[in-house]
Amino acid sequence: MTDDVLNITQEGPVALIGLNNPPVNALGAALRQGLSDAIRDLDADPSVKVIALYGEGRALSAGADIREFGKPPVPPRLPDVLDQIEGSDTPVVAVMHGTTLGGGLELALAAHARVVLPGARLGLPEVTLGLLPGAGGTQRLPRLVPLEKAIEIISTGRQVPADEALELGLADDMGQGTPQEAARAAAQAVLDGSLPTRPTGGISVTLDRDVLDQAISRLQNRRPALQAPIKAVEAIALAEKPISEGLPGERAAFMDLMDSPDRQGLIHAFTAERAVRHIPESDATPRRIDSAGVIGGGTMGVGIATALITAGIPVTLIEMSAEQADKARVGVMKNLDGAVKRGKMDAAKRDDLARGLTVATDLASLSDVDLVIEAVFEDLEVKTQIFGKLDGICKSGAILATNTSYLDVNRIAAATSRPQDVIGLHFFSPAHVMRLLEVVVADQTAADVVATAFDLAGRMKKVAVRSGVCDGFIGNRILAHYRKVADYMLEDGVSYQQIDRALEDFGFAMGPFAVGDLAGLDIGWATRKRKAPTRPATERYVEIADRICERGWFGRKTGQGYYLYDDPKARTPNPGAQQIVEAERQRAGVTPRDFSDEEIVARYMTAMISEAARVVEEGIALRPIDVDAVFLFGYGFPRHLGGPLNYADRIGARDLIRRIENYSTEDPHYWQVPTLLRELAESGRSFADLNKE
C-alpha cells in the first residue's frame, strides 16, 4: 500500500512503514495523519505481529515541519500520534538513520525498540530553535539514558553519533544495510525475541534533584540566559511522574515557548541560512573547480587556503618570498593541527589534506588553476597590478576573485580583459572558521561565476550571501556606519566599559571596543585614514581612537588598547585610554552626560538598522533576510534576535523613525531617516513582508 507520504508493505507478520516526505521526512500534517491511520489499521489487523518504522531518503525524519510553526495547528498533533504508537498493542520498532532529529527522534523514542544505523546522528535540536522537545522528548529520553546525558543532549541540541547512542541506551541495537533492510531485520528480531520491546513511557526513573538544580542555575547564569534550555530542564524534572502527567507539562512549556520572541528570532536565523541561497543566478551551471590559487599568505590567505584544502580543493599559495611562503605553509599546518586537537579530523586526514597545499613565489604557477583568490594588502594599486598579471597568466575560464574588504571590485575587474570572470569573495577572519562568505557581484560578473561561488561556499560549508558593489559591501558598510555611534556616545560622556557591557547584556558576545582590541585597532585606523580625504565637512569625527593608536596601542596584540591585557583572561580598563577619552571630551568642548544601558542599545541598534535599510533600498542586498544572514554568520549578532532587520520589525518602522528624528536634532548629518523605512511606515509593511516579495 502506498500513501502519498508513506510506503507501507506487509511481509507475512511484518508491516514495514517507510516515511516518504522528501527532502527530510518532516512530520507535517499529512505525514502525521498518514502515520496515525497506518498505526490504527495495522494494530487492528491480527495478521500483523510487528510494525517497523524507517525513513525513505536521507533520514528517518528531521522532526516537526518548521514551516507550520506560527500557523494554526492542524490535527492530529504529533504528541497524540506518538502516544498512539506507544499505546499500540502490536510492538513497533524504529530504525534511526541519517539526521534523526527533534520530532523524528521523539517518534523513535515512542516506539517499543530502536535500532540505529552506522553514520546516523541523533539529536533534539529544539532549543536551538527557541523550543523544547514537545512530543515527549523530555519525558522519554531521561527514561532511557542517564540524567546528566539527557540534560546535556536536550539543553544543547548536540547530535549524538550512532555508537554513542548504542552505548547510552538510546538505541538497543546497531543495524546494517539500507533502512528498509534494517527495518525488516529488526522486525524479525522482535519476532524471534532477540530484540526485546517495551513502551518507554512505562519505565519509571528517579531523578537526582541536585543535578537538575545545578543544570538550571548554570543555564540561568549564561548570557544571554535563553528560556528554552531552562524550561527544557524543568520539563525533564517532570519525567519522575507517570508519563500521562509529565507529557501535558512538557506540552504547556512547549506552547509557551512557541509564542516567544526568541523562538521567532531563532527560526528566522535557521531560515536565513537557507533563504540566501535563492539568487537570480540559481539556474546557471557552476564552473568546475578542481584546483585553486591563493595570492597572499597573511592572516586571510592562510585561512582561505585552509578552508579550500579542507574542502578537498588543492591550493597553490603565492607569497612574495620563499621565507614568507614557508611561513604561510606553517600557518596552514597550524590550522589543520588545531582541527585535529579539537577532534574535527584525525592525523591521517590532516596529512592527506596537507598534501593538497603547494607554496610558490611566482604567479606563473597559477596558469592552470580553476580559481584564484587574491588576499594581498588592501591597496587598489597593488590589487589592480596583480589582476593585470593574472589576466596574462591564467587559463581561459578561470575565475579571478578578490578578498578585498572595501575596494571597488569593478575597478579591479577593469584591470583585466575578462571582467566577466572577476568576482569578490569576501571571507571573514579567521577564514577557515567563520561561516560567512560575501559574494560580491560586479557589473559584468557572469551568472555562472556567481553560481560557482555559491557552489564553492557549499563545499566549504559556508553561508554565501550575494552583495552588490559598494564601499564595504553589506557587512563592513553597515559596520562602518553604526560603529561611529559608539564613538559619539563615548565622547558624549558614557564610558566604553558601559557601552561594551550594555551591548553584551543585550546579547552580543563582545562589545564594540573589546572587539576593536581583539581585531587590532590599527585596522580601523588605516580605514579612517584612507577615507579622510572624502569625509564630508559636516560629519562629526571623534578622534579618541586615533589618539590611542598614535601611542602604538593596537589592542590585544600590543598588550593594551581600550583595555589592558597583562592577564590575557581579564579585561581591565586602560587608564591611559581613559585619560585620552577625558582629554578629547574637553578638547571637543563636550559636557559629559549619562546614558542608560537602554539608550545605548537603542542608539546603536537604530544606527545599524538605518544603514541596513539603505543597503536593501539600494539593492546591495537582495532582501532584508540577506542582511540578517551577514550579521548572524559574520558579525556575532545575537542569534535569538534573528538579525538586525528581523529585530527592526520588533521595534516597528514608525518607532524607528521617531527615534531617528529625535536623535537628528543633535546631529542631522548622521541621523537621517532612510527612504525605505518611511515607505514601510506609510504602507504599514515590515521587513518580513519584503522578504516574501
Determine which residue in the list 274, 344, 650, 669 makes contact with ligand 3HC, applying CB under 6 A.
274
In a 3-state reduction of DSSP, which class is residue 371?
A: strand
* 316 forms part of the interface with ligand NAI (CB under 6 A): no
CB of 387 to ligand NAI, least distance (A): 11
Would residue 126 show up in a list of annotated catalytic residues for this protein?
A: yes
Q: Which string of x and - marks every residue 653-682 that binds ligand 3HC (by CB under 6 A)?
A: ------------------------------
Q: Write the DSSP symbol of residue 27.
A: B
Contact 673, 660 (CB under 8 A): yes
* 335 forms part of the interface with ligand NAI (CB under 6 A): no
Which string of DSSP letters, residue by residue, matches 372-424? Answer: EEE---S-HHHHHHHHHHHHHHSPTT-EEEE--SSS-HHHHHTTSS-GGGEEE
* 519 forms part of the interface with ligand 3HC (CB under 6 A): no
CA atoms within 13 A on the CB side of 14: 20
Residue 138 contact among ligand 3HC, ligand NAI, none, beta carbon within 5 to 8 Å by kind: none
CB of 340 to ligand 3HC, least distance (A): 24
Binding to ligand 3HC in span 128-147, by CB under 6 A: 129, 131, 133-135, 137
Q: Which string of x and - marks every residue 18-47 that binds ligand 3HC (by CB under 6 A)?
A: -----xx-x---------------------
CB of 100 to ligand 3HC, least distance (A): 9
Total site size for ligand NAI, rule CB under 6 A: 23
* 299 forms part of the interface with ligand NAI (CB under 6 A): yes
Would residue 539 show up in a list of annotated catalytic residues for this protein?
A: no
Which helix (DSSP H) or strand (DSSP E) does residue 428 occupy?
Answer: none
Q: Write the DSSP symbol of residue 133.
A: -
Residue 293 contact among ligand NAI, ligand 3HC, none, beta carbon within 5 to 8 Å by kind: none
Q: Which three cell numbers stand for residue 229?
A: 534550555
Q: Decide whether 122 or 545 has the Cβ nearer to ligand 3HC.
A: 122
How far is 306 from 287, CA to CA, in rounded Å? 21
Q: Which three cell numbers stand for residue 312?
A: 578537498
How many C-beta neighbours within 10 Å does residue 498 have?
18
Exactly one of 106, 234, 281, 319 is catalytic; name it: 106
Q: Decide whether 1 or 255 has the Cβ nearer to ligand 3HC.
A: 255
* 304 forms part of the interface with ligand 3HC (CB under 6 A): no
* 296 forms part of the interface with ligand NAI (CB under 6 A): yes
CB of 645 to ligand 3HC, least distance (A): 20
Rounded to 5 degrees, what angle do the CA atoms 283, 285, 291 make?
145
Total site size for ligand 3HC, rule CB under 6 A: 24
Q: Decide whether 254 or 387 has the Cβ nearer to ligand NAI.
A: 387
- Choices 130-138, 299-307, 454-462, 659-667 (CB under 6 A): range interacting with ligand NAI: 299-307
How far is 440 from 373, CA to CA, in rounded Å? 13
How far is 376 from 382, CA to CA, in rounded Å? 8
Determine which residue in the list 152, 240, 378, 543 makes contact with ligand NAI, applying CB under 6 A.
378
Q: Which three cell numbers stand for residue 302?
A: 592562510
Rounded to 5 degrees, what angle do the CA atoms 675, 676, 681 make?
100
Q: Which three cell numbers stand for residue 295?
A: 595570492
> Which residue minimizes CB distance to ligand NAI?
298
Cell 552583495 appears where?
467
Residue 301 contact among ligand NAI, ligand 3HC, none, beta carbon within 5 to 8 Å by kind: ligand NAI
* 371 forms part of the interface with ligand 3HC (CB under 6 A): no
How far is 642 from 5, CA to CA, in rounded Å? 32
How far is 403 from 521, CA to CA, in rounded Å? 20
CB of 81 to ligand 3HC, least distance (A): 11
Q: Decide whether 228 or 289 has the Cβ nearer to ligand 3HC.
A: 228
Exactly one of 11, 56, 86, 126 is catalytic; name it: 126
Q: Which string of x and - marks every residue 243-282 that binds ligand NAI (by CB under 6 A)?
A: ----------------------------------------
Binding to ligand 3HC in span 98-127, by CB under 6 A: 99, 101-103, 106, 125-126
CB of 429 to ligand 3HC, least distance (A): 25
Residue 295 contact among ligand 3HC, ligand NAI, none, beta carbon within 5 to 8 Å by kind: ligand NAI
Determine which residue in the list 178, 180, 214, 324 makes contact with ligand NAI, applying CB under 6 A.
324
* 63 forms part of the interface with ligand 3HC (CB under 6 A): yes
User: Residue 690: phi, psi to the nearest 5?
Assistant: -65, -30
Q: Decide whether 137 or 297 has the Cβ nearer to ligand 3HC.
A: 137
In a 3-state reduction of DSSP, which class is residue 666?
A: coil
Burial class of residue 666, CB neighbours in 10 A (0-12, 13-18, 19+): exposed
Contact 139, 247 (CB under 8 A): yes
CB of 317 to ligand NAI, least distance (A): 9
Rounded to 5 degrees, what angle do the CA atoms 45, 47, 50 make?
85
Residue 319 contact among ligand 3HC, ligand NAI, none, beta carbon within 5 to 8 Å by kind: ligand NAI
Which string of DSSP letters, residue by residue, matches 484-528? Answer: HHHHHHHHHT--HHHHHHHHHHHT-SS-HHHHHHHH-HHHHHHHH
* 404 forms part of the interface with ligand NAI (CB under 6 A): yes
CB of 99 to ligand 3HC, least distance (A): 4
The contacts of residue 378 (CB under 8 Å, 6+ apart) are 404, 405, 406, 407, 526
Beta strands in 132-182 (DSSP E): 160-161, 173-174
Residue 67 contact among ligand NAI, ligand 3HC, none, beta carbon within 5 to 8 Å by kind: ligand 3HC
* 153 forms part of the interface with ligand 3HC (CB under 6 A): no
* 429 forms part of the interface with ligand NAI (CB under 6 A): yes
How far is 151 from 138, CA to CA, in rounded Å? 9
How far is 33 from 542, CA to CA, in rounded Å? 63
What b/e readout covers 131-169, taking b as 16+ CB neighbours within 10 angstroms?
A: bbbbbbbbbbbbbbbebebbbebbbebebbebebbbebe
Which string of DSSP letters, residue by residue, matches 251-280? Answer: HHHHHHHHTSHHHHHHHHHHHHHHHTT--T
Determine which residue in the list 109, 186, 195, 300 makes contact with ligand NAI, applying CB under 6 A.
300
CB of 78 to ligand 3HC, least distance (A): 5
Binding site for ligand NAI (CB under 6 A): 295-301, 318-320, 324, 375-378, 382, 386, 403-405, 427-429
Footprint of ligand 3HC (CB under 6 A): 23-24, 26, 62-67, 78, 99, 101-103, 106, 125-126, 129, 131, 133-135, 137, 274
Which sequence positions are flagged as catalytic?
A: 106, 126
